[in-house]
Structure 1
Amino acid sequence: MLQPIIKVSNASKSYDDQLAVDHLSLQIPKGEIYGLLGPNGAGKTTAILMLLGLSEPTSGSVSVCGINSTRQPIEVKRRVGYLPDNLGFYQNMTGFENLLFTAELNNIPRDVAKERARDLLKTVDLTESASKKTGKYSRGMKQRLGMADVLMKNPEVIILDEPTLGIDPEGVRELLRLIKELNENDNLTILLSSHHLHQVQQVCHRAGIFVKGNLLAEGNVASLARQLFSEESIVVTVRAEPMDTDLIEKIESISGVIKTEDVQSYLEIYCTQDVTSKISQAIIQSGSSLYHIDKKNLGLDEIYHRYFEGRDLNESV
């Protein structure tokens, strides 16, 4: 891994007796889109506030761009653009005026600010709404204006906390497209906090599974599947008749098959490798009729259902 631009070392955060973040260690290199994936209440926002220097860790350390977030929070804020889940703009000011106000707060010269604001409004496809008061903006328009707002100071890192919350599907697609373009064109490091699996899967290079203050695992989707599901990283779905006990035992004896599960009229076969052809052969040789066979790699949807819903976090990963 390249030198990390975001580094969290064994950081914890407690509120009274409530442990919100539990010994979090995380490294994100420059130019990566990293998804912090977890359900509401997992501690994602608390972790982000520690990164920004808005909340001090109870223990451990946090640094962004090589700067200690606890000791030098102002320096961190100069380099980081933050888009919270609850956006706030001056409703009686236009989108253009809001961007200029942000520029003034960051000591950006007026002429530079005007040119940058126009360019950014074009980037986020809000040129035609630049002179409209933000009180008239839709949620999706506000999110795109928020992206322009965090880019006004040319940050090295962007942190997005649930950026697609409350946006219609078309707005989500546009925002995800913008995130990918910013990363590809400007090599921006982006930390995306979300509980929406498919959105994280679409844009993030890596994701961390964050539940009840714990980072359970991290990596790309294939890596997460291997970590979280041990060796059960491939599922073959079969419908055949008859599917009797002898046939199931024959399938389970195939090298690479871990287990089978009956799901309605289908048989799900969990495997360490692609043994689809061997399963087909076993069914045909048994004299049964094969009506359906399909293979898929376990993805974030399966990760969610197994590890966000009802999982005992005292179990080892």
Structure 2
Amino acid sequence: MENPIIELHGLTKNYGAKKAVDNLSLKISKGEIFGLLGPNGAGKTTTILMMLGLAEPSAGEVIVCGTNATRHPIAVRRKVGYLPDSAGFYDNMTALENLIYIGRLNGIAEREIVSRAQKTMEMVGLGAEMHKKAAVYSRGMKQRLGLADLLIREPAVMILDEPTLGIDPAGIRDFLHLIRQLSREQALTVILSSHHLHQMQQICDRVGIFVEGKLLAEGNLETLSGHLFGKDSLVVQVSVREAVAAPEVLERQLRGLDGVNSVVTTANIWELSCHTDVTPDIVRLFVQNGLNVTCVHKKEYGLDEIYHRFFENNVKKESFQWEVR
């Protein structure tokens, strides 16, 4: 990875005899949405605190935007915005007044602060609600205001810790869409910490799987799936209407396709394990053999199955309370 915006080298954090983070090395590039995935106590929040310079590593180092976060934490926090799982605002002030106040605290020039705050409120979809008191804002609206709090500072990196907690399903969908849009339009690097597997799969370019302070694996779905399930990372199931007259001949033809690793047939259902997606070639062979294909189903491993397979392979299930939502 060329010119990463975040680099973690051998990062370790001990609390007495307990290792909260264990020899973590990771690089995250500019404009990437990276997910920290794991159960409570996995080390995600401790890693975030070290990225922000709010906790000192027991070993290793954190480099954010070219700056050592431990030695120069204030310089790092000027470039990094952090949204906790519950953002707090002054309820007796309007959302716009809250944002203007935040802008002043961050040294934004008085001549531009109002227009910049208004523009930021529009950006996060709160333009029509900016003059309402923060007290009447819903949980989802407050999280959007929290994003505005980060964006008015024009950060290079945004760290979001369980940002969708307590938001209704429609609000979650809109919030995730907003994060992805902001990342793509402004080349913002986003680090998202969560244990909501489906949400992480929707938005993240890559994820890191954390258990007991260790990074077990990192990558996109394809990389993680290939690492776990090897070359048999895609299963294609084909159903045909009639019995095959010479199944051994068709099986030999299917095995001869580049990308097919194994073929199993039961009655009129054929299941093929593949290391590349050659579904059109598979279907074509069935048709060429005069068979009526009634259904083609591709099984690709999602983040849910990938995480739980890593989890089962590396730790005892009863060690953690894990919730899939």
TM-score scaled to structure 2, two decimals? 0.82
**Aligned residue type for 2:208:** G
Match of 2:74 in 1: 74
- C-alpha separation in 2, matches of 1:69 and 1:40: 24
* Conserved? CA contact 1:280–1:290, under 8 Å: no
Q: What is the distance in 2 between the residues matched to 1:133 and 1:211? A: 41
User: Whole-Å Cα distance in 1 between the matches of residues 36 and 270 of structure 2?
Assistant: 33
Aligned to 2:314: 312
Report SS of the residue matched to 2:119.
helix
Distance 1:175 1:91 in 2: 22
Distance in 2 (alpha carbons) for counterparts of 1:268 and 1:138: 49
Query: How many Å apart are 1:157 and its aligned residue?
Result: 1.0
| 1:4 match: secondary structure | coil
What SS does structure 2 have at the residue aligned with 1:114? helix
What is the identity, as a one-letter code, of the residue corresponding to 1:131? H
Which residue of the partner structure matches residue 197 of structure 1? 197
SS in 2 for 1:311: helix
The answer as to whether partners of 2:251 and 2:263 remain within 8 angstroms in 1 is no
Which amino acid is 1:133 matched to?
K
Report deviation, 1:109: 2.1
- CA drift at 1:116: 1.0
Deviation at 1:59, TM superposition (A): 0.8
The 3 A distance-change label for structure 1 pair 242 and 305 is farther
- How far residue 126 of structure 1 moved from its aligned partner, in angstroms, is 1.1
Post-superposition CA distance 1:224-261 (Å, at most 9, x none) = 21122222211234668999xxx89x979947446979
Q: Name the CA shift for 1:31/1:273 in 2 (closer, same or farther; >3 Å).
A: closer
Shift of the alpha carbon at 1:296? 2.7
Deviates more, 1:291-300 or 1:1-10: 291-300
Report if aligned partners of 1:235, 1:298 keep a CA contact under 8 Å in 2.
no
Q: Secondary structure at the match of 1:60?
A: strand
Between the aligned partners of 1:135 and 1:268, the Cα distance in structure 2 is 57
Q: CA RMSD in A?
A: 3.2
Unaligned 5+ runs, structure 2: 317-325
Give how far 1:173 is off: 1.8
Q: After superposition, give the CA deviation of every residue in 1:177-203 in whole Å (9 maximum; x if it has no partner).
A: 211221222111111122223322322
CA–CA distance in structure 2, aligned partners of residues 130 and 74 of structure 1: 30
CA contact (8 A) 1:50 1:62 kept: yes
Residues 280 and 181 from structure 1, CA distance in 2 versus in 1: closer, same or farther, beyond 3 angstroms?
A: closer
Over 3 Å counting, the alpha-carbon distance change for 1:203 and 1:274 in structure 2 is closer
Summarize the Cα distance change of 1:261–1:48 in structure 2 as closer, same or farther, 3 Å threshold.
farther
Residue identity in the other structure for 1:7 = E
Asked if 1:272 is matched to 2:306, the reply is: no
Give the 5 Å matches for 1:179-198.
179-198=179-198
* Greater alpha carbon shift after TM alignment, 11-20 vs 59-68: 11-20
The answer (yes or no) to whether the contact 2:34–2:190 under 8 Å persists in 1 is yes
Contact 1:13 1:19 in 2 (8 A): yes
Distance 1:281 1:313, change over 3 A: farther
Shift of 1:267: 8.4
Residue in structure 2 matching 1:294, options 294, 297, 300 = 297
CA deviation digits over 1:109-158, x for unaligned, max 9? 22322111100111111122212221211110011000000111111111
**Quick check: 182-191 or 197-206, which moved more?**
197-206
Aligned residue runs from structure 1 range 44-83, under 5 A: 44-83=44-83
Higher deviation after alignment, 234-243 or 41-50: 234-243
SS at match of 2:306: helix
Report the CA distance shift for 1:163/1:251 in structure 2 as closer, same or farther (over 3 A): farther
Structure 1 counterpart of 2:13: 13
2:319 alignment partner in structure 1: none
Structure 1 residue runs without a partner (length 5+):
none
How far is 1:7 from its partner?
0.6
**Distance of 2:44 and 2:122 partners within structure 1:** 31
Matches within 5 A, 1:54-203: 54-203=54-203
The alignment covers a number of residue pairs equal to 307
2 CA distance for matches of 1:224 and 1:40? 22
Residue 127 and residue 14 in structure 1: after superposition, are their counterparts in 2 closer, same or farther (change >3 A)?
same
- Tell me if structure 2 keeps the 8 A contact 1:39–1:211: yes
Letter in 2 for 1:299: G
Q: Is the 8 A contact 2:231 2:275 kept in 1?
A: yes
1:148-178 deviations in Å (ceiling 9; x for gaps): 0011111111111111111112211221221
Amino acid at match of 1:151: L
